[in-house]
Chains A and B, each alone.
Chain A
Amino acid sequence: MKLEELGKGRIGLRTLAYRLYVPLASLLLVLLAGHWIAIRAGRFDPETALQNQYLRFQKSGDAAAGKLDGLTPAEAAAADRVIADWYEPTQSNGQVLFLGNSQTMAINDYRAGDMVAAQWLQVSLLRQIGTREAPALVLGSLPNITMPETVARTVEFSESRGRRLKQVIVALTLREWRGVGIRPEVQNEIAAHQLAGPLAELIGSNRDLVHGDTVLQGTLQALKNSAGTAESGSAPPVSSRVERTLQKFAGNNSVLFKSRPYIVVELFIQYMRLRDWLLGIKSDAPRPIPFETYRANLEMVELLIRYARARNCDLVIYLAPIRPLQPNPTLASDLARFRADLPKLCARYHATCLDYSDLVPETKGMWTDYPDIRQPDYAHFTGAAHRLLARRLAEDIGSRLTLAAAPRSNAQ
Chain B
Amino acid sequence: MTFQSISYLLFALAIWLLAIPLSGARSRQVLLLAASYLFYATWGFDCLAILLASSLMNYAAGELLRKRPTTARLCLGVTLNLALLAIFKYLPSMADGASLIRRLFMPVGISFWTFEALSYLFDLYSGDEDANPSLIEFCLYLAFWPTVLAGPVCRVGEMLVQFRREERPGWDDVATGVQRIVLGLFMKLVLAQILLEGVSKDGGVAYGFDQISGGWGGVDAWVLAIGFGFQLFFDFAGYSHIAIGSARLFGIRLPENFDRPYLSLSPSAFWTRWHMSLSFWIRDYAFLPLAMLRPGKWWLMVTLALSMILFGFWHGATALFLLWGAYHGALLVVHRQIQALRQHRKLRVPPALDAAASWVVTFAPVSLGWLFFRSRDLHQALEMWSAIFSPARYMHLILRPNCYIVTAAIVVGYFAIESIRPILARVTGGERAQVVVRALSPAWYAAAVLLIVAYSAQESLFVYFRF
Chain A interfacial positions (CB closer than 8 Å to B): 1-4, 19, 21-23, 25-26, 28-30, 33-34, 37, 144, 146, 148, 178-184, 210-211, 214-215, 217-219, 221-222, 225-226, 228-233, 235-236, 238-239, 242-243, 246-247, 250, 256-257, 260-261, 263-264, 267-268, 271, 275, 290-293, 296
Instruction: Let me know if B26 is at the binding interface, CB within 8 A.
Output: no
CB distance from A267 to the nearest CB of B (A): 7
Taking A26-B445, A232-B466 as contacts, is the C-beta distance between A225 and B215 under 8 angstroms?
no
A325 to B368 Cα, complex, angstroms: 44
Instruction: Let me know if B441 is at the binding interface, CB within 8 A.
Output: yes
Instruction: Let me know if B299 is at the binding interface, CB within 8 A.
Output: no
A180 to B171 Cα, complex, angstroms: 51
Instruction: Let me know if B197 is at the binding interface, CB within 8 A.
Output: yes
Residues on the A chain within 8 Å of B405, using CB: 275
Residues on the B chain within 8 Å of A235, using CB: 1-2, 42-43
Taking A33-B450, A243-B7, A290-B398 as contacts, is the C-beta distance between A26 and B442 under 8 angstroms?
yes
Taking A29-B443, A296-B212 as contacts, is the C-beta distance between A3 and B168 under 8 angstroms?
yes
Count A-B contacts at CB 8 Å.
181
Residue pairs across A and B with Cβ atoms less than 8 A apart, 21 shown, are A2-B171, A3-B174, A22-B445, A26-B446, A181-B201, A182-B211, A184-B201, A184-B458, A217-B210, A225-B461, A226-B459, A232-B108, A233-B47, A235-B2, A236-B43, A236-B44, A238-B42, A239-B42, A275-B402, A292-B214, A296-B213
Residues on the A chain within 8 Å of B457, using CB: 247, 260-261, 264
Additional A-B contacts beyond A30-B450, A211-B214 (19; CB < 8 A): A3-B20, A146-B202, A148-B211, A184-B201, A218-B376, A228-B461, A229-B461, A233-B47, A233-B107, A236-B43, A239-B43, A256-B453, A257-B453, A260-B454, A261-B457, A267-B199, A271-B199, A290-B396, A293-B398
* A233, B174: Cβ atoms closer than 8 Å: no
* B215, A290: Cβ atoms closer than 8 Å: yes
The 6 closest A-B pairs by CB, nearest first: A218-B210, A292-B215, A179-B202, A29-B446, A181-B202, A25-B442
* A26, B6: Cβ atoms closer than 8 Å: no
CB distance from B356 to the nearest CB of A (A): 28
Residues on the A chain within 8 Å of B400, using CB: 178-179
Q: How large is the interface on B (under 10, 10 to 19, 20 to 34, 35 or more residues)?
A: 35 or more
* A243, B453: Cβ atoms closer than 8 Å: no
Other-chain contact of B105, A211, A214, A225, A232 (Cβ < 8 Å): A232
Residues on the B chain within 8 Å of A211, using CB: 213-214
CB distance from B208 to the nearest CB of A (A): 10
A183 to B203 Cα, complex, angstroms: 10
A4 to B19 Cα, complex, angstroms: 13
B window 437-467: CB within 8 A of A: 438, 441-443, 445-446, 449-450, 453-461, 465-466
B179-209 toward A: CB 8 Å interface, digit per residue (1/0)? 0000000000000000001011111001101
A242 to B441 Cα, complex, angstroms: 33
Taking A25-B442, A243-B6 as contacts, is the C-beta distance between A292 and B172 under 8 angstroms?
no
* A236, B212: Cβ atoms closer than 8 Å: no
B272-298 toward A: CB 8 Å interface, digit per residue (1/0)? 000000000000000000000000000
Residues on the B chain within 8 Å of A290, using CB: 215, 396-398
A154 to B209 Cα, complex, angstroms: 25
* B207, A181: Cβ atoms closer than 8 Å: yes
Residues on the B chain within 8 Å of A29, using CB: 442-443, 445-446
Residues on the A chain within 8 Å of B199, using CB: 267-268, 271
Which of A19, A144, A211, A218 has the most CB atoms of chain B within a 10 A radius of its CB? Answer: A218
B372-403 toward A: CB 8 Å interface, digit per residue (1/0)? 00001000000000000000000011101010
Nearest B residue to A278 via CB reads B405
B152-167 toward A: CB 8 Å interface, digit per residue (1/0)? 0000000000000001
* A30, B461: Cβ atoms closer than 8 Å: no
Instruction: Let me know if B92 is at the binding interface, CB within 8 A.
Output: yes
CB distance from B41 to the nearest CB of A (A): 9
CB distance from A325 to the nearest CB of B (A): 22
Residues on the A chain within 8 Å of B96, using CB: none
Residues on the A chain within 8 Å of B203, using CB: 181
